[in-house]
Amino acid sequence: MEKRRLGKSGVVVSEICMGTMTFGLQTDKKAALRIMDRSVDAGIDFFDTAEVYPVPPSAELAGNTEEIVGRWLKTKPRESVIIATKIAGAAHGWFVPLVRHGKAALDRRHIKIAIEGSLRRLQTDYIDLYQIHWPDHGMRAEDTLEALDELVREGKVRAIGTSNDNSFGVMKALWTADKEKLTRYDTIQNNFSLNNRRFEDELAEICRREEVSLLPYSPIAGGVLSGKYNDGALPVGARFSEYMATGGPRQKAMAERFFNPRSEESTKRFMAIAAEAGIDPVTMAVAWSKQHDFVASTIVGVSCEEQLEPIFAAAGLKLSEETLKAIDEVSEEILYPMG
């Protein structure tokens, strides 16, 4: 497993990161512990969680995922595992309308409450990477960055990052950090996959020039790129199956955003490319993601152990120029046609 640095920080991680948002809901505690153990055996030392997990979040379940990760972390040498978590803001554990609409209230008080809660649930005295889950661009950037800088100076956090952010937010935060001599963001965690390459428009260039690392989430497009939703299939236990069957309007809209006629067409074409290359489509999707120069570690997620092997197979894998060209042709023809 290749190791890469997060931005210009002192944090070095495996090229694949195990996401945990299913732990405590789709994935029970025993299965979650086995998944984390098997990940370590495969060479993964980087785990990403959040105070709002599991997903879909609720006030009753909030924090369950961090607690599961914390129980597991207690059984490992602390320095051998890299832990990333995220602050939602004033919600502290579950979604509220303010957070959904970019008003996360990321000030010193709420950051202090959130970090103490995460440290307690994770049963550790420091977090390797602490991330803003949703930015609040209506706030003064220095109010958030000063509070995060204090955590770094106190030794509670090693590095900081943002998530679900845009070009304005990242550049505003970096400019403010430089101007006020505060700790800079070393990472950004955004959606990036074969079916969603919007990050390449502007944010990729920011990452390259400012030495900020992308931690792409949903590299398998929520499972869509495995082909399991093709031809109208709704497999039992799959997240988007649950969203379509029993979810509210917001969850159904999310499922439709990930899986629609255009993404189904591109997915089938990508699956054909993977078959031609002799690899699993999931393996190809993860390998493609981590092959970008602005990516430090690709965040994967599973709900059961059976989904691990094609992900592990992507470790160290470099796709050929022919495969990359074929992928680009599908993107240009179906997802991002010109003219």
Known catalytic residues? Answer: 53
CA dist 195 → 19, 117, 241, 328, 338 (Å): 19, 35, 19, 11, 16
Encoded tokens for 176: 């403010």
Task: For residue 259, give the H/E element and its range.
Answer: none
- DSSP track, 31-94: HHHHHHHHHHHTT--EEE--TT-SSS--TTTTTHHHHHHHHHHTTS-GGG-EEEEEE-STTSSS
Rounded to an integer, what distance in angstroms lies between the CA atom of residue 90 and that of residue 105? 6
Encoded tokens for 42: 């495969």
Are 39 and 72 in contact by the 8 Å Cβ rule? The answer is no
Q: Helical H runs in the chain?
A: 29-41, 64-73, 97-100, 108-122, 141-153, 167-180, 203-210, 239-246, 249-258, 261-277, 281-290, 308-312, 321-330
Amino acid at 57: P
| Sign, Cα dihedral of 168, 174, 177, 183 | positive
- Residues ≥6 apart with Cβ < 8 Å to 242: none
The rounded radius of gyration (Å) of the Cα atoms in the chain is: 19
Rounded to an integer, what distance in angstroms lies between the CA atom of residue 27 and that of residue 71? 15
Which among 142, 117, 137 is positioned nearest to 49, based on CA atoms? 117
Half-sphere exposure of 213 (CA within 13 A, CB side): 26
